[in-house]
Amino acid sequence: MTRRDSILRELGLAPLWRLRECAGQDTQGDMLPAAAAPAGILPSPVVAQAPVQGARAQHIAALGWDELKEAVSACRDCRLCEQRKQAVLGVGDTEADWLFVGEGPGAEEDERGEPFVGQAGKLLDAMLAAIDLKRGKQVYIGNVVKCRPPGNRTPEAEETAACFPFLQRQIELIRPKLIVALGKPAAETLLGAEVKVGAARGRRFDYRGIPLIVTYHPAYLLRNLTDKAKAWEDLCFARSTMADQPGDN
Ligand code: SF4
């Protein structure tokens, strides 16, 4: 058994691998621009979210990595600061081609100060390995909110809005070639529209000129094992989208 077979077996995807090779696969065949989306799939047009304005946002937009890390650590601009042990900015290659964006830190992430280190993180690492990626090497992983929502609840709209300038600045500094939005809150925050993951996956969106792919959050996949096969299709689609980017090998 090859290393990739082992990874896919761990993901519960080995039979699928035999059915569908990822390399060169046109998984969905419909890299539609958002404007061509069938009516009703997404309730509002998906457009790249405009930069958040205001003095705070302008201040954040001028920060370098060190200042950004300090600003996030000290931030008390939404109520998620109240119960956090620490803010979690992100992890990985700060010049990565790939940016994966999740929802927010969980208990282990809050404890350790790194995103995706619990069970969902293990699954994300396996997903990355399945397409020959590795945490920290051409990959940056972050979240929509930097502080743990109590009880791992979904962040409120005002919390994601308050934290969005930090994510915007991260994206500006990293300048990734592709963004993968993991789950609904990440997709909605980045696209500035209501998103149904099941309808949005398999299509190419755009965040300020950067291709954006939507797939399921690993924590969701841990609870919904049958959707792992769809996540595998999405990863293949992401990889083929990346291969189409200028300068990619
Ligand atoms: Fe600040 Fe974001 Fe933490 Fe809210 S979630 S306190 S905006 S760093």
**pLDDT of 93 over the 80 cut:** yes
Percent over 90 (pLDDT), the chain = 75
Residue nearest to ligand 1 atom 7, measured at CA: 163
Residues having CB closer than 6 A to ligand 1 are: 72, 75-78, 80-81, 87, 145-147, 159, 162-163
pLDDT at 13: 54
* Cα of 122 from ligand 1 centre, angstroms: 25
Q: How much is the pLDDT for 59?
A: 96
pTM of the prediction? 0.85
Q: Report DSSP letters for 15-49, one per residue.
A: HHHHH--STT--SSS----GGGSPBTTBSS---PP
Q: Is residue 155 part of a domain?
A: yes
d(CA 94, CA 102): 17
Q: Using most ligand atoms within 8 A of CB, pick from 146, 152, 189 the residue to mutate for ligand 1.
A: 146
Residue 27 has pLDDT above 90, yes or no: no
Kindly indicate the confidence band of residue 194, based on its pLDDT and cuts at 50, 70 and 90. Answer: very high
Alpha helices in the chain (DSSP H): 3-10, 14-19, 55-60, 65-74, 107-112, 119-130, 157-174, 184-191, 197-200, 218-223, 228-243
The whole-number average pLDDT for the span 111-115 is 96
pLDDT at residue 217, as a whole number: 96
- Per-residue pLDDT tens for 215-240? 999 999 999 999 999 999 999 999 99
- Spatial CB neighbours of 167, under 8 Å, sequence gap ≥ 6: 101, 142, 143, 144, 189, 190
Q: 16 lies in a domain?
A: no
Question: Residue 149 falls within a domain, yes or no?
Answer: yes
Ligand 1 midpoint to CA 107 (Å):
16
pLDDT digits (tens, 9 = 90+) for 148-192: 999 999 999 999 999 999 999 999 999 999 999 999 999 999 999
**CATH number of the domain residue 223 falls in:** 3.40.470.10
Nearest one of 47, 57, 151 to 104, comparing CA atoms? 151
Q: Is residue 40 part of a domain?
A: no
**Is 194 a domain residue?**
yes
* Percent of the chain whose predicted confidence (pLDDT) is above 70: 78
The domain containing residue 170 runs over which residues? 45-243
Quote the number of domains for the chain: 1
Distance 188 CA to ligand 1 centre (A): 18
Query: Do the domain assignments include residue 18?
Result: no
In a domain, 39, yes or no: no
Ligand 1 centroid, distance to 38 Cα (angstroms): 35
Beta bridge partners of 204: 213
Ligand 1 atom, smallest distance to 162 CA: 7
When pLDDT is cut at 50, 70 and 90, the band that residue 47 belongs to is very low
Q: Measure 27 CA to ligand 1 centroid, in angstroms.
A: 37
Atom of ligand 1 nearest to the CA of 104: 5
Q: Which residue has the higher pLDDT, 48 or 194?
A: 194
Mean pLDDT for 63-79 is 98
Q: Which atom of ligand 1 is nearest to the CA of 159?
A: 4
Looking at residue 12, its amino acid is: G
User: Is 122 a residue whose pLDDT tops 90?
Assistant: yes
- Domain assignment present for 61: yes
